[in-house]
Amino acid sequence: MALERGLFSLICCCWVLALMCCQPLAGASRLPTAYKRALQEFKSDKVQVIRAELIHRNHPNYPINALSGASAADRHAASASRQRAHVSRRLAAGVEFQAPVSSGFAYGQAEYVMTLYLGTPVQKFVVIVDTGSDLVWVQCLPCSRPYQCYNETDPFFNPSSSSSYSVVPCTNLSCDPFQVGGTAAGCNSVGNCKISAAYGTPGSGIGGLLSTETISFSNNTDSGQLGISNFLFGCMDNDTSSFGTADGLVGMGRGPSSLPSQLSQLTSFNVFSYCLVPYLVSFNLTSPLLFGASNSKGLELVYTPIVDNPITYYWVNMTGISINGTAVNIPKAPLEWNLTTSTGGTIFDSGTSYTIFSNDIWTPVVQRLKELITYPIVPVDNQFLCYNVSGVQEPVYPSMSFQFSGVGGGVVDFPLTGQNLFFPPHDPTVQCLAIAPAGTPFFINIIGNFAQGDHYIETDLVNMRIGWASRNCSQPDL
């Protein structure tokens, strides 16, 4: 089983991982002494890149997959069902995008997981990778009434079994960032920093204590891979959300407490990148997630600026869509972020499967495809355009490209092929467009992981840009 090999490996001769607690963007001057010391130790090392293997929920070794042993058609059908729930719940949530910890997973989109270890001795956890939130957390004992926890893959984290666990008091500077935007629920009766996070639907959320612990990404201490102390995380013991059987969550958003932000602020790791293997190509491969220097390996990347939006997602300025090289006539308003209504604009979200467009964008795109594709249309779901391709060995579809503002001016293309655009929801004789309507004219547009497949995508947090190049992500040379 792939998980038994450990999902993280270091691409360097040094095996020391240093992930420290994240502080506000005001700078490292506010870091407690222990964090400053850990930072100095890290910078003296020669770590170049940290590599993680992302396991998609359709992978046969996905540890929280209720569809284990299901057919490919069953997996796609379940994915389509999750997407419908995703869209309807986002609409019901209204302006939930303003919340500091809004999560793609809250809408049924636990697309990828990775493994981490906490404590001394280590305790293993399989956690959801969430690009739509910032907090790192796991469920913790005692989880006894009046509190509650959901069942998970591994045992709950047991603080009493770890010699390195510590609770953060409310007077500690580390508690301050969690008092902003309603993330913190205040202090408990003994003065510890109490935190909570809502995940989209009314009455759904998690709560617990802000804590520090030693974190590592391997349980093989004999190999010389050391844990890093004083890592800030949420030790949650009151959960009213449903996260399947995952042990917790790693926030990958732009907020100061996310994993990428921690590495960017406290180390030289200012870039993270990934290359998603299209799961229509293979259910059996994992996808690399890399932290550190650019790993483009000779690829000529094009870049679009990250829009400095206060919300945690990775915002970009989408300018248009072309099909077979011809621009689609779409209105500009849904492409532009509206601060007053919290609508419009575009984000990259690897935690969402299908691309989602405002109705005013989706409708002309679908109309143009209907004009170009001659296969019979079949009614599968009113949220998807589907075709009967029975008897067609290799269906041929128009090419599509998303356009974005380029760094330094101009426009850059994000090219899409048939495998980025169409999927079989039930069986290979029917294929549906992997672009769904939001159900409202001015929705936040999402570039999902179907579209991102077979692209090397690099996020540069210092230069505030996202770059990409087409490549075969199944190749083992990343």
- Answer yes or no: are the C-beta atoms of 233 and 213 closer than 8 Å: yes
**Sign of the torsion angle spanned by Cα atoms 10, 15, 21, 23:** negative
| Residue from 291, 288, 373 nearest 324 by CA | 373
- Answer yes or no: are the C-beta atoms of 218 and 186 closer than 8 Å: no
**Sign of the torsion angle spanned by Cα atoms 342, 132, 84, 455:** positive
Catalytic residue among 237, 239, 349, 360: 349
For residue 265, report the phi and psi dihedrals to the nearest 5 degrees. -80, -35
Place of tokens 């009046």: 146
**Residues of 33-65 as b/e, b for ≥16 C-beta within 10 angstroms?**
eebeebbeebeeeebbbbbbbbbbbbbeebbbb
Catalytic residue among 130, 134, 247, 360: 130
Q: Would residue 176 show up in a list of annotated catalytic residues for this protein?
A: no
Q: Would residue 381 show up in a list of annotated catalytic residues for this protein?
A: no
Residues in the chain: 478
Spatial distance between the Cα atoms of 469 and 373, rounded to a whole number of angstroms: 27
Q: Catalytic amino acids?
A: 130, 349
